[in-house]
A and B are shown apart, each in its own frame.
Chain A
Amino acid sequence: MEQKIYLDNAATTKVDDEVVKAMIPFFNEEYGNPSSLHEMGIKAQRAVETARQTIARSIGASQEEIIFTSGATESDNLAVKGYAKRHRTDKKNKIITTKIEHDAVLKTCNQLAQEGFEIVYLNVDEEGFIDFEQLEKELDENTLLVSIIHGNNEIGVIQDIRKIGKLCKEHNVAFHTDATQSYCKIPLDVNDIHVDMLTMNAHKLHGPKGIGALYIKSGIKINPLYGGGAHESRLRPGTHNVPGIVGFAKAVEIQQKDMEEKAIKVKKLRDYLIKRLCNEVDECYLNGSQDLSLDKRLPNNANFRFSYIEGESLLFRLSDFGIMASTGSACSSASLKPSHVLLALGLPHEKAHGSLRLTLSKYTTKEEIDYTVEKIKKVVEELREISPLTKR
């Protein structure tokens, strides 16, 4: 099978050709260190600062509020640990997060729990929306920080961060959101939403891997994670990844152009995929928000579950047909537990094992979706044929 249909864009994306082109000179021509004082250093520094401006503008922030990191995991760690450790007092040591966070926040909070922080993991409803009553109840004078994912990487559900931000402000609690999946897919403006820190990265939006950013509202103080030089306002030491930073900004620039139109186009194709699979395959269900609108579900995300079959087998068979997808089955991990996100929705384990995530991009075509639907129908039928759980 020569043809490759890439439907795993929540994992990573194809780097846009224009992005690659923008990056190349910074490997072998303009390879100076932005910290150097000579001409090549100045050129590199200018490239970094121009990129910073592009990224700041994309969310309505100012240049000084953007810190470059190695990616979303580091941004999440820097935000949560950096803020928590800086502002902790004997009394104030509570962090509120959710049961559906990406591991970058979830495991970071678990680490902080080991250090004596009190962590509250908010429940979500069966579609993945957080429990606001619980959030309001938990926001008290001991609360230091709230960290809630914006667009979920597995089930695509989008939290109402405007409402969360408002509540945090009322209670004078800092608010961080991981916007890795939503950034540059749906509009985000930090003047519009009360948010103190926001995680972004490049490789989910056709930029390079290994580069991300953290927005830190001016006036918010955090501790750095590592010791080192004075780079990035002393918050993130280490020589700048100049080609990565340039590529990141280029990707943002491309994504920001007609962002809404692009989102609607991808959404239309995604809605078509959902409609076909749910209509044409027995016992196929959509996980996450059933409301498919742009403010409730990431436009490129679809996550299904199929009764009686196991996700890894499904994935491998699809891979044989050139279709690249993802699953929340335990078999995709080292433990026997399926995805914590699917379990948080209240799904029984055996149903979570049969999940399939398909995430589209601007490159996805209708032909690819049609081909994928046909192959999924075939593979699901075959696997059910050999499953001892299928009703006879």
Chain B
Amino acid sequence: MALDYTEKVLDLFRNPKNVGEIENPSVEVKEGSPTCGDVIQMQLKINDKHQIEDVKFKSFGCASNIATASMATEMIKGKHIDEAEKITWKDIANELGGLPSVKVHCSVLAVDAIKQAIDKYKIQKGLRKITKDKIDKDFIIDKLRHVIDPSVGTDIIRLKEVLYVGVEKKADKADVLIELAHPEEREFESNIEHEIKEKLEFIPGIGNIKVEFKDHTPNPKSPEGI
């Protein structure tokens, strides 16, 4: 199907801004999955006043992915992180003069990457305190919303693939056990596990992370089950 992109989208796709890498980034994240056809790497350089001094991205993705990342990075450059993390997909889509609806998935990644990068930075710098008390089922579920099952291209929470989330508080850290239903295509299990760990590992207060895949039989006995 021929997609009718706006001139602005095509222009930014042809001449993307802020492409590349920063030598010593304050924070770096990767969002998306190569299996779905879109991966974005976002690096931010943040100064002592918590302003975004520089931002660079790399993309394995389609034209709309590259164009939105280009626009989004331009929009947050120089801004304070509190302000930058308020950016929405709609803001960017408006600036671009609209995006085809089938391209929402690819274009939303850039916004997700920015939000995740700032969140990661805040957690790492202690600006957003994550003590082990804060790590509970809801906290983990929120993080799992960014993990995509490549067989269908939708996140594992929306797909109801998460069967159980257990958090066991230890002396200084909390261990996490996540049980998942087998994805539609089992070959993606290692892929999903890797993504889950990437989303949780850096968080102080999280200890061991265990991911298990099971046949879909909900366990009524587990009070913390979903």
Assess the A313–B61 pair: CB atoms within 8 A: yes
Chain A contact residue count (CB 8 A cutoff)? 26
Name A384's closest neighbour in chain B (CB-CB). Answer: B60
Q: How far is B60's CA from A353's CA once the two chains are assembled, in angstroms? A: 10
Residue in B35, B60, B102 whose beta carbon sits within 8 Å of that of A334 in the complex:
B102
Q: How far is B59's CA from A308's CA once the two chains are assembled, in angstroms? A: 10
Assess the A331–B1 pair: CB atoms within 8 A: no
Interface string of A313-328 (1 = CB under 8 A from B): 1001100100000000
Q: How far is the CB of A378 from chain B (nearest CB, A)?
A: 13
Q: How far is B10's CA from A245's CA once the two chains are assembled, in angstroms? A: 40
Q: How far is B59's CA from A387's CA once the two chains are assembled, in angstroms? A: 5
Q: How far is B106's CA from A67's CA once the two chains are assembled, in angstroms? A: 44
> Which of B13-21, B123-131, B166-174, B211-219 participates in binding chain A?
B13-21
Q: How far is B60's CA from A349's CA once the two chains are assembled, in angstroms? A: 13
A220 at the interface (CB under 8 A from B): no
**Which 5 A-B residue pairs are closest in the complex by CB-CB distance?**
A336-B153, A388-B41, A350-B34, A331-B62, A312-B62
Contacts of A353 on B, CB cut-off 8 Å?
34, 37
Assess the B105–A386 pair: CB atoms within 8 A: no
Residue in B14, B30, B40, B66 whose beta carbon sits within 8 Å of that of A320 in the complex:
B14
> A353, A386, A389: which has the most chain B beta carbons within 10 Å?
A386
A233 at the interface (CB under 8 A from B): no
Give chain B's interface secondary structure class: mixed
Q: Given A338-B37, A349-B35, is A310 in contact with B61 using a C-beta cutoff of 8 Å? A: yes
Assess the A329–B1 pair: CB atoms within 8 A: no
B178 at the interface (CB under 8 A from A): no
B39 at the interface (CB under 8 A from A): yes
Q: How far is B187's CA from A338's CA once the two chains are assembled, in angstroms? A: 16
Assess the B62–A310 pair: CB atoms within 8 A: yes
Q: How far is the CB of B56 from chain A (nearest CB, A)?
A: 10
17 CB < 8 A contacts A-B: A308-B60, A309-B60, A310-B37, A310-B38, A312-B63, A313-B13, A316-B10, A330-B37, A336-B36, A336-B153, A337-B153, A338-B37, A348-B35, A350-B34, A353-B37, A386-B59, A387-B60
Contacts of A349 on B, CB cut-off 8 Å?
34-37, 150
B58 at the interface (CB under 8 A from A): yes
A332 at the interface (CB under 8 A from B): yes
Give chain A's interface secondary structure class: loop
Q: How far is B153's CA from A312's CA once the two chains are assembled, in angstroms? A: 17
Chain B contact residue count (CB 8 A cutoff)? 31
Q: Given A309-B60, A334-B1, is A350 in contact with B13 using a C-beta cutoff of 8 Å? A: no
Contacts of B152 on A, CB cut-off 8 Å?
336
Q: How far is the CB of A283 from chain B (nearest CB, A)?
A: 14
Assess the B102–A329 pair: CB atoms within 8 A: no
| 8 Å CB interface, B99-114 against A | 102, 105-106
Q: How far is the CB of B19 from chain A (nearest CB, A)?
A: 5
Q: How far is the CB of B28 from chain A (nearest CB, A)?
A: 10
Contacts of A386 on B, CB cut-off 8 Å?
16, 19-20, 58-59, 66
Assess the A336–B13 pair: CB atoms within 8 A: no
Assess the B105–A316 pair: CB atoms within 8 A: no
Name A338's closest neighbour in chain B (CB-CB). Answer: B37
Assess the B41–A329 pair: CB atoms within 8 A: no
Other contacts beyond A310-B60, A331-B62, A336-B36: 5, CB < 8 A: A330-B36, A331-B106, A349-B150, A388-B30, A388-B60
> B13, B59, B105, B150: which has the most chain A beta carbons within 10 Å?
B59
Assess the B37–A329 pair: CB atoms within 8 A: yes
Assess the B1–A388 pair: CB atoms within 8 A: no
Contacts of B39 on A, CB cut-off 8 Å?
388-389
Contacts of A317 on B, CB cut-off 8 Å?
14
Q: How far is the CB of B161 from chain A (nearest CB, A)?
A: 16
Interface string of B1-37 (1 = CB under 8 A from A): 1000000001001101001100000000010001111
Name B28's closest neighbour in chain A (CB-CB). Answer: A388
Q: How far is B110's CA from A351's CA once the two chains are assembled, in angstroms? A: 22
| 8 Å CB interface, B130-153 against A | 150, 152-153
| 8 Å CB interface, A281-331 against B | 308-310, 312-313, 316-317, 320, 329-331
Q: How far is the CB of A380 from chain B (nearest CB, A)?
A: 13
Q: How far is B36's CA from A333's CA once the two chains are assembled, in angstroms? A: 12
Interface string of A45-61 (1 = CB under 8 A from B): 00000000000000000
A335 at the interface (CB under 8 A from B): yes
Contacts of A308 on B, CB cut-off 8 Å?
60
Assess the A313–B105 pair: CB atoms within 8 A: no
Contacts of A332 on B, CB cut-off 8 Å?
1
Contacts of B150 on A, CB cut-off 8 Å?
336, 349
Q: How far is B39's CA from A350's CA once the two chains are assembled, in angstroms? A: 10
Contacts of B62 on A, CB cut-off 8 Å?
310, 312-313, 329, 331
Q: How far is the CB of A358 from chain B (nearest CB, A)?
A: 18
Contacts of B30 on A, CB cut-off 8 Å?
388
| 8 Å CB interface, A106-120 against B | none
